[in-house]
Chains A and B, each alone.
Chain A
Amino acid sequence: DAGITQSPRHKVTETGTPVTLRCHQTENHRYMYWYRQDPGHGLRLIHYSYGVKDTDKGEVSDGYSVSRSKTEDFLLTLESATSSQTSVYFCAISEHSSDTQYFGPGTRLTVL
Chain B
Amino acid sequence: AQTVTQSQPEMSVQEAETVTLSCTYDTSESDYYLFWYKQPPSRQMILVIRQEAYKQQNATENRFSVNFQKAAKSFSLKISDSQLGDAAMYFCAYRSARNTPLVFGKGTRLSVIA
Contact = CB atoms under 8 A, between A and B. Distances in A.
Interface of A: 30-31, 33, 35, 40-45, 48, 50, 58, 88, 90, 92, 94-96, 98-103, 105-106, 108
A103 B44 contact: yes
Contacts of A103: 37, 44-45
Binding site secondary structure of chain A: strand
Of B44, B99, B106, most A-chain CB atoms within 10 Å = B99
Nearest to A90: B45
Contact of B50 (A30, A41, A50, A100): A100
B52 interface: yes
A47 to B, nearest CB: 9
Interface of B: 4, 33, 35, 37, 43-45, 47, 50, 52, 91, 93, 95, 98-99, 101-107
Given A35-B102, A58-B101, A94-B99, 4 more contacts: A43-B104, A88-B43, A92-B45, A101-B102
Given A100-B47, A106-B43, A43 B102 contact: yes
Contacts of A102: 47
A99 B52 contact: yes
B52 to A, nearest CB: 7
Nearest to B39: A37
A101 B103 CA distance: 12
Contacts of A108: 43
B33 A42 contact: no
Contacts of B44: 103, 105-106
B22 to A, nearest CB: 15
A40 B10 CA distance: 12
A23 B44 CA distance: 15
B107 to A, nearest CB: 5
Contacts of A98: 98
Given A103-B45, A105-B44, A42 B105 contact: yes
A45 B96 CA distance: 15
- For the complex of A and B, list the 5 residue pairs with the smallest distance between their C-beta atoms, beginning with the closest: A103-B45, A42-B104, A42-B106, A43-B104, A45-B101
A45 to B, nearest CB: 5
